[in-house]
Every structure is written in C-alpha cells, then in structure tokens.
Structure 1
Amino acid sequence: MELTFFGAAGEVTGSCHLLEVGGRRVLLDCGMIQGGREAEARNAEPFPFDPASLDAVILSHAHIDHSGRLPQLVRNGFQGRIHTHAATRELARVMLRDAAFLEEKDAEHESRRRARRGQEGVEPAFTRADATAAVRRMRAHQYGQPHEVVPGVTLTLHDAGHILGSATVEVELAEGETRRRVVFSGDLGHRGAPILRDPEPLEQADLVLLESTYGGRNHRDWDATWEELAGILERARHDRGNILIPAFAVGRTQELLYVLDRHYAEWGVDRWQLFLDSPMAIEATEIYARHWQLYDETARQWRGQQANPFKLPNLHFSRTANQSRAINRIHSGAMVIAGSGMCSGGRILHHFKHNLWRRETEVLITGFQARGTPGRALVDGAREIKVWGEPIRVGAKVHTIGGLSAHADSDGLAEWYGRFHGRPPVALVHGEADQRDALAARLGREFDAPILTPGLGERMDLANPERLLPAG
C-alpha cells in the first residue's frame, strides 16, 4: 500500500499522485505543468509510470493543472475509468478540447518552422480526438456517494468549494488486514467566495494530502476587496481608459460576472461596455448557469430573482476572432475579461498589445500567477513584457486583487485541517516551496502534527505514513 508524488511537489501545477493498493494502481489527478517555456516543456516528457498499467484515475476538478494530461494518458495506453464529479465532466469536455486545439496549433506552427530548415515536423502531445476519448472514459459521481473504484479502493467526493464540481477526494483503502483512509484536499476554495458553498470539513483520516498554494499568506477580507474593486472602476471611468481582466475561463470569470451583476447599480457597471472575450469561458459560464443546485444559499436566492446571474444587460459575448479584434477599436469605456488567466497566451495578449502601454489602462490580476508567466511579471512590477516577441512597455496601472483568489488562504487551510480528529500526518502539495514551508511551520506549531513536504518522485508506505521514502 504505497503513495508516490509525481507532480505538484514543491510547485503549484502538475497535480499527479499514484496510489498502489493490493496490486491495483489508481492515479489522483493528471495535470499539466504551467509556467514558463522551460516548465511547460516537461509536459512532453514520458510519464514516470506506464499509463497502460493504471486501473483508474480520480480527478479532483477540471482546471488544466489537474486534468490537462488526461488525453496524453489515454493516447499512451490508459484504458480504465476516470472518476469525477458530474459538473467536472462537463467542464473538462470544454477545457480539454481547448487544450488539445492549442497542442495541435503549436505542433503545426513548430512543424512549419522546422520545414523551413529542412527538418522533420513534430506531432502534438495529444489531439482533440484524444481529448474526446478521455472525456468518454469519465464516470460522473455526486458529492457524498461512496463508489468502489477498484477492489480495495472506495471513493467519496466532497465539495471543495473551489470551482464548480471541485472535490475533496476521500479514499478508503483495504489491503489484507490493513485499512487506511486518505483524504486529498484537491484545491480548497476561499471561504465566503461568491456563488459556491464553502469547502466541506472532514474529520477522519489516516493521511491528509493538503494543498498549500497560499500557505503563508492571508487574503484581504471580502468587504475590503469589494471596496477596492469599486474604487478601481471609479478611477478608470475618471481616467477614460479601458479595464483588462486576465481571468481563468472556469471559476474566476463566473465570479466576476456574478459580482458585477450584484453591484451593477452601486458600482456604475452600466457605464461600461462589458466583453467576455473567450469562447471557452462563454461555454463554461453556460455550464455554471445550468448547475445552480451547487450554488450557496445567497447565489441560489439571487438566481431566483435574476433567472441567469451571469447575463448582464451590457455584456457582449465575443465568440469569433473578428468580434475580439473589434474590441480594440474602443479606446475608452471597455471592460474586457479574457484568457489566459496567467497571460501566457490567448486573447488577453491582443488586448495587451493595444492597451498595456497606455497610462489610462487598468489591469486587474485576479488569480494565482505561476513563476515564469507574463502575469507573474506584471504582479512583480515589470515595466516591460514581451507579447509574441515584441517588447511592450507597461504604462497601465496593475492591480493585484488578492481577495478574489479561489484558493483558501493560510487561515482557511489551517482551519480546514484543524477539523481532523487525532491530528493525522499531512503531506503538503500544490504549493511553491516558500508557501508550503510556511504552512508546514504553522501546522507544526499549532497542531503538533507530523508534517511532510514530499519532493518529486518520493514515496510513502501508507502502513507508516509519517515518513517519506526516496524516489524510485
């Protein structure tokens, strides 16, 4: 009975952990590595295990850093089932198709470049057909319903409150006379966040895998966050500029639309032309609208009044490239929500090219920015970034709205872990080293619990989950 950490160990992205129980192999998540060019090149490397040897996969939620390599897994021989929440299956269909399109496009571009040098072309890591095949292998579950994934592994999903369908994964393991309960937090949501319920607390575990994205930092409180947003909108209107919001297509985009709808009159939102410039975000928003039963009580009441809480009177959906280009003819009064969330690609770069150098432009950073991404450079105060190789001066005002994070902060993570009886060992994953180590120090100090910080490839004998074994 063993657990091996193959991703998100000392870094945020690339979530991937392998359970081996009674001769069965079950993977927890299979995510892409995100960041700079060097980090993302690791996605093309072979898996450190044989995909054909896996019996099943459990997917915590649809974000690409948790789901993005599933098509590669299928392409390389995986033939089992992928178990996840029903809403995650819908969102993954959209997100994996988009990821595959980008893979195909990048491979085509690279092949043309090589052809000009007389070299052979390259194949994409996976295709849209592989993405479709991965989604077809998904089996949908609801929160709180136990299901035997394979003999010896029983799965129960719990609401993680991070994005629609996001789950904390509880697995009960049996091998001979040994029984273990492992809880994988997935990505825990920010308490009090718009739309979704707060993360569900659990009390029993023999081992906890806990994310640590913001393990050493607390977010601004919600009232201060709304005041900050209102102030930015007012200043931007006074400066007669545009507002650019790089946002993740799933989760952050829907929260922003919901909040703008709730404060429509109070913040003067009607004075802006709003653009959702992302076909994937448009599809994800339609999925959010359908799954209203997963909202918290406040959002369900608001939906009862509004029918669709994401359909503002002045909101335009930009589905086509021509519709996106037309936005850049507007020099004042446009609020544009576009991907990618870390500014590493997508339509937001077109808007940067036309607006980032302008002093009257406001840029709102509303989510985590991985090291090596243009978004992280903006957060760190860069005065110039490159857009498709062209240097663009940063004349815009850049605001980091940390209070809008979809991740639990240090207080939230400590509170969630503190609900477990008996202070089980906790392995910290999904966090850069400084945030992970800060949370390790806090949990050790407050709870006197065994804290582990696994490195890539390190293993754990679940019969004795208080120590790590070397890789291999």
Structure 2
Amino acid sequence: MRITFHGAARQVTGTAHLLEIGSHKILLDCGLFDSNRIDLDSPNRQFSFDPLDLDAVIVSHAHNDHIGRLPCLVRAGYHGPIVTTPATGDILSVMLRDSARIQREDLRNANHRNPHAEPIEPLFELVDVELVVDRLQRLPYAKPTEILPGIVLTYFDAGHILGSAMIQLDYEEGGRQRRFLFTGDLGRRQMGLLPDPTIVKDIDILVSESTYGNRELEPYDKLIKQLHAIVARATRLQSKIVIPAFSLGRTQRMIYCLQELFAVHKVRPIPIYVDSPLAMRLTDIHRDHPDAYTPAARQMMDKDPMYFGSKYVEFCATWDDSRRLNYLPGPLVIISSSGMCEAGRIRHHLRHIVDDPDNAIVIVSYQAEGTLGRRLAEGVERIQIMDQWHELNAAVYVLDGFSGHADRNDLAWWFEQTGGQIERGFLVHGEPEGLEALAPILQPHLRNPVVIPDRLATYEV
C-alpha cells in the first residue's frame, strides 16, 4: 500500500488521504482547507491528485474540513462511488448546500466591491452538490462490505458527531491479510449523548487524528455542574445566557445537556431558543436517527416525541423570530451560530447582551486565533461587533470540554485498547504542538517510529 497525505498534514483542515492498494486508488475524505473562499490561489481551487484516477471515495463524517471539496471533485470529473454512513449522507447534503449558498453570497459581495476585476467563480454550484448526493452509497456501522475487488470496508462508530465513523479496510497483500484503519475524528468518552469510540484491534497500519493531542479537557460530570451553576445564576438574576455553537453537533449537544439538567438533575427549567436555520434543519436529521444515541440519552429523550425539543425549546426560523429575542425578559438561553462568532446571527445577540454584567456568554468549542470568539474567551475589555465597539461586561465562561474531539487522555485510552503491535502509525489532523505531544503516547503501541507526515508526502507501508 502507498499512502499520500494531500491535506490535514501538520494542520487540522483539508483532510484528504490517498491510498493505493494494488491497482486501486481510494480517497479518504475530501475536505476544505482553512482558506478564503474567494482567494484565487487557495488550495481549495486545485487538486494535488487526478480525480479521474480515483476508484472510490470514503467519507468519515460530515464536517466541512472532511467533505467540503466533494462537489469540486465531481466537478473535476470524478464519476465513482462516494461511501458514507446513512446519517453522514443525510447531513452531508444539507452542509454542502449551505456551503454553496454561502459561496454565492461571498462572491456576490466580492464582485460588487471590485466591479472592474475579473469575476470570481465559485468553487462549486448547487448542481455539483446534487451530483455528489446522487453518487452516495450509504453503509451502516459494523457491516463488512467489499467496495472494490479484494478490499473490504467496515465502518465503526467514532463518537465524534452523528454518523461519524472510523474507516477500516481489510485486504490481502503479499500473500497475507492486512488491516488499515483511519480514525477520522474521534469523540470524547462518557459524554452522555453519543457512544464512546468503538475499539478496533489487530491493526497493521493506523492513521490517527491528533486535534487535542496536547490538551486535557474537563470530564462531563464537572461540565454539567458548571453549566448548572450558570443556569442557576441566570435564574437568580433574571438574565440571558448566549451560547455560540456550531450548527452541526455542538448545538444538538448543548440542547441535550440543558434538557439533562432539567430532567435528570432537576434544575429549574428556563426557555431555550435555538437561533440558526441550519441548526434547525440538522436537528431534524438528528431526530431521524434515534438509534445513534446512548441508552441513557434514549431513555431521557424517548419520553418526549420530539427529540432535541420540548416545551422549553423553540427554534427561530426567521429574522423576525431572531429579533424578537431582544425584547424577551430573562432568564433564557440563546444558542446560535456561528461557533466562533465570525458570522451568522450570534453577533446580533452578542451585541444586545454584552454590556450587561448580569448576562453570560458560554464558550463551548475551540476558538481559532483572531476570531471574535477567541477574544471573548480571552476576556478582553472591549470588543468590536458589527463595526461597533462594546465594553465586555457580561460574564464569560469557557467550557470547551464540550468539544466533540477526543483529548489527550481519550486518545491515550483508545490507543491502549487496540492491543498494540501496530506495524506503522501516522498522526494527522493536528497543529504541530498537538502532533508532537501525542507522538510519544502512540509510540509504545507501534513496532516502528511514529510518522508525522508533511503535506504531499508519500509512504510505502
């Protein structure tokens, strides 16, 4: 087998790993790089491999850094199958259509600002998304399936988001059976809603993520206690809680956690408003897959016919619904996107609550450097929101342990459960600090030195 790392090598975006097994070429994920959509020199605008050479594409999960260039692949002439889990297939179609819409808006604004410049073309159009959806082959967890002659794919639950999967490929090479495993993005253990990542043994070649390889996050029981205290404060002060959250995964997790507080921990319920049309569509998909959740989560949510919804949860579909929240008295919770506060309706809500010290902002995910969310998390004295400066008087709580990514301890636990004796191991999907910190934790389970590949590096394994 040959592996070439076309993305997410010494970085966390643009996942795309090309496997060559015999005469077959298989691409694992095809994600967007963190790059300006309208930049003509963006790595998103060209492939470092020939899409026409591919025999199959296998998708781990539906975050844009893993699926965002699939329409570009089809647009470039790829005609083969795109394999996903059933839930990932459902989510993928919504995420890619939303991405196409955002591109149209970005390009319209860019072309308007520079009317005499050469018009910029989008990465892909809606019709390309429909072609991707048409090529999807949905495969459930734990069902070995021969996707190409002599190559058997099995998906295992990665516990990261709904539908997320580890990719196992079994094949014969040199007269012996071999097993390759790509973790995709692994989830945290014992987080209430989704099962722990599945344990996989007898691995010969491992490609593992390392996003939080240098971090240890708070355990779930402590996070729930902290969230309890924040809700109790809002009830006491009759104030508002604003939670910036990604529409996929984090929004649904926070709805669930608040419902758990009300139903299990007997916290006095307060209204929850989810202000994101995309989150509303994705939550509908989460309701369609009740078997994906832990028995404890099922037991709690089965009591209400509307998963991720109850008399305390209201979704805001229109701008009028969103604006109405400005005039409602507390206590209440507003969950809105984007998760890093760089776009979307969240900025509108922050602008209205940030000056009041009784209000609270709860950060529940990683905030990239330079974003409004990072500045909030760092507790700066003044922030700029929508071209206006505000005093940051609201209380800011950072509960990033709600992340969907395994931390250093979770990854160490998973590596140990594999049984070791892994022939070759590669670390991807991480910043240099996380990669370097995780390498010595993986090393005892390998027969050869850990490899941290550069982008476009190729290895014979």
TM-score (norm 1): 0.90
CA distance in 1, matches of 2:350, 2:385: 8
Map of 2:426 onto structure 1: 427
Q: Return the offset for 1:408.
A: 1.3
1:29 alignment partner in structure 2: 29
Unpaired segments ≥5 residues, structure 2:
none
Residues 162, 82 of structure 1: CA spacing in aligned structure 2 closer, same or farther, 3 A cutoff?
A: same
Distance 1:208 1:51, change over 3 A: same
| 1:468 corresponding residue in structure 2 | none
* TM-superposed deviation, 1:391: 4.4
Show CA shifts across 1:95-135 (max 9, x none). 111111101111111111111xx223222111222222212
Aligned residues: 459
Pair 1:396 & 2:401 matched: no
Q: Distance in 2 between matches of 1:418 and 1:314?
A: 42
Q: Which of residues 294, 301, 304 in structure 2 aligns to 1:303?
A: 301
Letter in 2 for 1:61: H
* 1:73-152 paired onto structure 2 within 5 Å: 73-115=73-115, 118-152=116-150
The percentage of counterpart residues that share the same residue type is: 38
Q: Helix, strand or coil: the match of 2:87?
A: helix
For the residue of structure 2 that corresponds to 1:170, the secondary structure is strand
Tell which deviates more after alignment, 175-184 or 89-98.
175-184
The alpha-carbon distance between structure 1 residues 450 and 304, as it changes in their structure 2 partners (threshold 3 A), is: same
- What is the letter of the counterpart of residue 134 of structure 1? V
Q: Structure 2 CA distance, aligned partners of 1:240 and 1:210?
A: 46
1:436 is the counterpart of 2:432 = no
Per the TM alignment, residue 248 of structure 1 is displaced from its structure 2 partner at its CA by 1.6
Residues 126-183 of structure 1, C-alpha deviation per residue, up to 9 Å, x if partnerless? 1222222212211100111112222343211001111111101001234564653210
CA contact (8 A) 1:6 1:18 kept: yes
Q: 2 CA distance for matches of 1:40 and 1:450? A: 38
Distance change in 2, residues 1:314/1:304 (3 Å): closer
Matches within 5 A, 1:191-206: 191-206=189-204
RMSD between aligned residues: 2.4
* Letter paired with 1:396: A
Taking a change above 3 Å as real, the CA distance of residues 149 and 269 of structure 1, as seen in their structure-2 partners, is farther
Offset of residue 386 of structure 1: 4.1
Q: How has the CA–CA distance of structure 1 residues 70 and 358 changed in structure 2, closer, same or farther, with 3 Å as cutoff? A: farther
Q: Deviations over 1:245-303 (max 9, x none)?
A: 11121221112111211221656453x33211111111111111121112111122223
Equivalent position of 2:455 in the other structure: 456
Alignment of 1:148-187 (within 5 A): 148-175=146-173, 177=175, 179-187=177-185
Return the alpha-carbon distance in structure 2 between the equivalents of residues 120 and 311 of structure 1. 47
Distance 1:91 1:286 in 2: 10
In structure 2, the CA distance between the partners of 1:447 and 1:3, relative to structure 1 (3 Å rule), is closer
Q: In structure 1, what is the Cα distance between the partners aligned to 2:232 and 2:166?
A: 39
Q: Which consecutive residues of structure 1, in runs of 5 or more, have no partner in the other structure?
A: 463-472
Contact 2:419 2:445 in 1 (8 A): no
Query: Structure 1 residues 173-182 or 147-156, which shifts more?
Result: 173-182
Q: Could you tell me how far apart the structure 2 residues matched to 1:278 and 1:296 are?
A: 26
Aligned to 1:351: 349
Structure 1 residues 421 and 194, CA gap change in structure 2 (3 angstroms): closer
Deviation at 1:330, TM superposition (A): 3.5
CA contact (8 A) 1:276 1:318 kept: yes
Distance 1:382 1:31 in 2: 33
Provide the rounded CA distance (Å) in 2 between the counterparts of 1:119 and 1:385: 34
Q: Per-residue displacement from partner, 1:277-333 (whole Å, max 9, x unpaired)?
A: 111111111111121112111122223322334112122111112222222334643
1:345: how far off?
1.7
Q: Following the alignment from structure 1 to structure 2, what is the Cα–Cα distance between the partners of residues 214 and 447? A: 20
1:414 pairs with one of 407, 412, 426: 412
Judging changes above 3 Å, is the alpha-carbon distance between structure 1 residues 140 and 446 closer, same or farther for their aligned structure 2 residues? closer
Post-superposition Cα deviations, 1:398-430, rounded to whole Å, max 9, x if no partner, equal: 221132121111111111111223431221111
Q: How far off its partner does 1:4 sit?
A: 0.8
Contact 2:275 2:317 in 1 (8 A): yes
Go from structure 1 to structure 2 and tell me whether the alpha carbon gap of 1:446 and 1:385 turns closer, same or farther (over 3 Å shift). farther
Paired position in structure 2 for 1:465: none
Give me the whole-angstrom Cα distance separating, in 2, the residues matched to 1:316 and 1:124. Answer: 35
How far apart are residue 375 of structure 1 and its match?
2.3
TM-score (norm 2): 0.92
Query: Corresponding residue for 2:337?
Result: 339
Deviation digits for residues 319-358 of structure 1 (CA, Å, limit 9, x no counterpart): 1122222223346433111111222222112222323344
